[in-house]
Chains A and B, each alone.
Chain A
Amino acid sequence: MKLIDIARVIRTKNSGPFIITIDIIFKDEQMYYKLKKRNYFSSDWWASLYNIPPEDVLSVFYFDPAFAVKANIKRYISSGDFGDSDVYGAQQHAPLLEVEIEDENG
């Protein structure tokens, strides 16, 4: 299944000038807990999605009250510095829109 079909919010934004924070909020509580239990969204998963070294994935959180997953990624250019292309960091979510989630039940 596609992530876009099971998530109601997929967004990115700055968390300060040096970090992009990525939120996925799931539609369904069960699906959220299922993926959380498998730690589906590991640092390595994010690293491969954004083609970055795993150490640039600064942290990953599962936030139960909102059925949400959050990852924090180090910006390679700080917000508004020369060569930056996204001052607010609000358009870095696109790779997630195409992601396939592998269901363990096939």
Chain B
Amino acid sequence: MIKIYSPTAILGYGFPLESHKEAYREKPDLIAVDAGSTDPGPYYLGKGISFVEAEAVKRDLSLLLTLAKDLDIPLIIGSAGGCGTKSSVDFTYSIVESLCKELNIHFKVSIIYTDVDKERVKKALKDGNIRSLDGSFELNESIIDRCTNITAQIGIEPFMEAIKEDAQVIIAGRSYDPAPFAVIPVMKGYDMGLSLHLGKILECGAIASEPGSGRDGLIGVLSSDYFDVFPLNPRRRCTVLSVSAHTLYEKSDPYHLAGPDGTISLEETKFSQINERMVRVTGTKFIPPKEKWIKIEGAEFIGFRSVCFAGIRDPIFISQIDNILSEMELITKENFPDWIDKFKIHFHLYGKNGVMGKWEKNKEACHEIGLLIEVLSENEKIAKTVIGFIRSTLLHYGYPGRISTAGNLAFPFSPSDVIWGEVFRFSIYHLIKENYLDISIIKKEV
């Protein structure tokens, strides 16, 4: 048997101290934690920065490094720093390094860099060894050039190498979420399908329990032909529903979970309730890949965003709002003919399709509307100028039937316009043949 401790859904999201004390009593063989996601959007990958603050990561790591030292067990971090670029791996390493000094503890650390060189991606594209994934755009050389960061989502193999070289702490770049959990079990000879499936359930911390939470821990116990999962917090329980439903979570096909190492098949998986708080999983199979294709992720810079937020309460204005805003767009383009291709305008109408856009079925407007004006441009000057023009023109716009001739918008802030900053777009979400990658492992002692 091998016992794995997953403290939290994302390193830096935190976990209750009581649960962590419980983890001590469980005496796990391994701590693994996922630190990343594409969920917060393309900005973090584009910039190569963490979406969790350094102090929050430090808080979690101080407890986890101490536990790893006290029990003499490995700590494996996947998708370090969120997006898993070199910069975010280094961000995590620098926190580990300073903490170890502060706490006076020492480890052999392995750092796995998963960044992908642009020239290699271009070469793979030329050779026909890039595939589009899950509805992603078609790739071309200029998109690759505009991407600021490209990372590969690694499977268990680079982790294996690091462990063979005696790493006690592993800080890896972008990783398949289950990989940090599954690598040691697989190396010890446990079933690949069960190991990866357990990793998939553990990677979100206590989200797979009831009530679910991303900031609490879960324990997984792997045996030769099954695994058990249960939460550390006595106020939560794992149920057949909470664990099986988690298998669906954020995945497009619940029966076949594809990853860099191969596919986990859940066609014969059974979930059973062992006791009040523990669920047993059996029957998960592993389907090895015919060829190894690895997912790569990249975000390209698309410009600067300026925004202005205002409330609208006048019912006469609201009844004409679609016409007014399309007129507004025309007036703006007319006013800046030299910039006509250099900016884009988007109106978010909160209170009327603001959240669901064209998927919205209820087309009726509320009695008040939150108008968020968004302008994107290649430079900050244009973004700022255009948002200012739209704000002032719309404030005084004379629409048919207007009675309130003093102003059409209620601004909550002064200044009312702001440069929000750089905007990125996910442009690479593709598969690449494994042989184009160049994953490097650096050994350090802290």
Q: Is A79 in contact with B41, judged by CB distance below 8 angstroms? A: yes
Residue of B nearest to A72 (CB): B252
* B361: chain A residues within 8 A (beta carbon): 49, 51, 95
Taken residue by residue from 339 to 370, chain B's Cβ proximity to chain A (1 for < 8 Å, 0 otherwise) reads as 00000101010000011111101000000000
Residue of A nearest to B256 (CB): A61
Asked whether A17 and B359 contact (CB < 8 A) given A65-B271, A68-B248, A81-B425, the answer is no
B135 at the interface (CB under 8 A from A): yes
Q: Is A21 in contact with B251, judged by CB distance below 8 angstroms? A: yes
* A86: chain B residues within 8 A (beta carbon): 355-356
Q: Is B249 in contact with A13, judged by CB distance below 8 angstroms? A: yes
Taken residue by residue from 67 to 106, chain A's Cβ proximity to chain B (1 for < 8 Å, 0 otherwise) reads as 1101010111111111101111001101100000000000
Asked whether A14 and B356 contact (CB < 8 A) given A63-B254, A65-B244, A83-B346, the answer is no
Taken residue by residue from 291 to 309, chain B's Cβ proximity to chain A (1 for < 8 Å, 0 otherwise) reads as 0000000000011010000
* B423: chain A residues within 8 A (beta carbon): 82
- Interface residue ranges, A against B (CB under 8 Å): 8-9, 13-19, 21, 23, 25, 49-52, 58-59, 61, 63, 65-68, 70, 72, 74-83, 85-88, 91-92, 94-95
Q: Is A78 in contact with B425, judged by CB distance below 8 angstroms? A: yes
**CB under 8 Å from chain A, chain B span 189-248:** 240-241, 244-245, 247-248
Asked whether A85 and B354 contact (CB < 8 A) given A16-B38, A25-B245, A68-B254, the answer is yes
Residue of A nearest to B424 (CB): A80
Given A51-B358, A82-B346, output 8 extra A-B contacts at Cβ < 8 Å. A58-B252, A63-B255, A66-B248, A68-B244, A78-B42, A85-B357, A87-B39, A95-B359
- Interface residue ranges, B against A (CB under 8 Å): 38-43, 133-137, 240-241, 244-245, 247-255, 266, 269-271, 302-303, 305, 344, 346, 348, 354-359, 361, 374, 376, 423-426, 429
Q: Is B424 in contact with A61, judged by CB distance below 8 angstroms? A: no
Q: Is A59 in contact with B41, judged by CB distance below 8 angstroms? A: no
Q: Is B248 in contact with A51, judged by CB distance below 8 angstroms? A: no
Q: Is B252 in contact with A91, judged by CB distance below 8 angstroms? A: no
Provide the main secondary structure of the chain B interface: mixed
Q: Is B424 in contact with A15, judged by CB distance below 8 angstroms? A: no
Q: Could you say which of A51, A78, A88 contacts B39, with CB atoms under 8 Å apart? A: A88
Q: Could you say which of B42, B136, B244 contacts A80, with CB atoms under 8 Å apart? A: B42
22 examples of A-B residue contacts, CB within 8 angstroms: A16-B134, A16-B252, A16-B429, A17-B42, A18-B135, A18-B429, A19-B135, A21-B252, A50-B359, A61-B254, A63-B244, A63-B254, A75-B135, A76-B359, A80-B43, A80-B425, A81-B426, A82-B346, A85-B348, A85-B356, A91-B355, A94-B356
Q: Could you say which of A17, A21, A25, A49 contacts B426, with CB atoms under 8 Å apart? A: A17
Bound state CA distance, A49 and B249, in angstroms?
Answer: 21
Asked whether A87 and B254 contact (CB < 8 A) given A13-B249, A66-B247, A92-B356, the answer is no
Residue of A nearest to B348 (CB): A85
Closest 5 CB pairs of A and B: A80-B41, A18-B135, A66-B244, A65-B244, A17-B426
In the complex, how many angstroms separate the beta carbon of B95 from the nearest chain A beta carbon? 26
Asked whether A52 and B429 contact (CB < 8 A) given A61-B255, A66-B247, the answer is no
Q: Could you say which of A58, A61, A88 contacts B135, with CB atoms under 8 Å apart? A: A58
Bound state CA distance, A13 and B207, in angstroms?
Answer: 14
Q: Is B269 in contact with A65, judged by CB distance below 8 angstroms? A: yes
In the complex, how many angstroms separate the beta carbon of A29 from the nearest chain B beta carbon? 11
* A23: chain B residues within 8 A (beta carbon): 245, 248-249
Q: Is B355 in contact with A85, judged by CB distance below 8 angstroms? A: yes
* A77: chain B residues within 8 A (beta carbon): 357
Q: Is B39 in contact with A14, judged by CB distance below 8 angstroms? A: yes
Q: Is B302 in contact with A82, judged by CB distance below 8 angstroms? A: yes
Q: Is A17 in contact with B38, judged by CB distance below 8 angstroms? A: yes
* B348: chain A residues within 8 A (beta carbon): 85
* A59: chain B residues within 8 A (beta carbon): 252-253
* B134: chain A residues within 8 A (beta carbon): 15-16, 18-19
In the complex, how many angstroms separate the beta carbon of B159 from the nearest chain A beta carbon? 23
* B355: chain A residues within 8 A (beta carbon): 85-86, 91-92, 94
* A81: chain B residues within 8 A (beta carbon): 42, 302, 425-426
Bound state CA distance, A75 and B359, in angstroms?
Answer: 10
* B42: chain A residues within 8 A (beta carbon): 17, 78-81
Asked whether A79 and B38 contact (CB < 8 A) given A14-B250, A15-B252, A65-B244, the answer is yes
Bound state CA distance, A50 and B255, in angstroms?
Answer: 25
Bound state CA distance, A67 and B424, in angstroms?
Answer: 38
Residue of B nearest to A75 (CB): B135
Asked whether A78 and B358 contact (CB < 8 A) given A14-B39, A15-B251, A65-B247, the answer is no
Bound state CA distance, A25 and B348, in angstroms?
Answer: 31
